[in-house]
Amino acid sequence: MSKKDRWANRRKSLTVRERQIVTLYHGLDGQKRRSADQIAAELGLSREVVLELHGLALQKLAHWVGLPVYHDLVRAAVDRYGERYVVVPDDAA
């Protein structure tokens, strides 16, 4: 199984909404990368809900992709949106 296939399988464990947000936010599956504001408008959600769901999805994915990769994703999210929107599990510190 290729790395791309493994990643696709791991994303399947997310809820449909989490998967949509991660896909749009990171520009996966050939999608254009979108901001939290753009995703919120497209999905009919508030920006805060998009950021919370994105953080929860990253937290779930942390168990599969490994914490070093997760920390890079968290750093990117904090840099982009600020600390209050990023959920960091206690065991990732």
Which of 25, 22, 47, 23 has its CA nearest to residue 37? 47
Give the residue numbers spanning the domain of 23.
Answer: 3-92
pLDDT tens per residue across span 53-88: 998 888 887 766 555 555 666 666 666 666 655 555
Give the per-residue pLDDT at 93.
43
At 6, phi and psi to the nearest 5? -65, -40
Give the tokens for residue 51.
């950021």
> Tell me, what CATH number does 67's domain have?
1.10.10.10
Give the per-residue pLDDT at 44.
97
Is the overall model pTM greater than 0.85, yes or no? no
Euclidean distance between CA atoms 61 and 40, whole angstroms: 21
Q: How many domains does the chain have?
A: 1
- Is the confidence at residue 8, as pLDDT, over 90? no
What is the mean predicted confidence (pLDDT) over 12-33? 89
Give the per-residue pLDDT at 59.
80
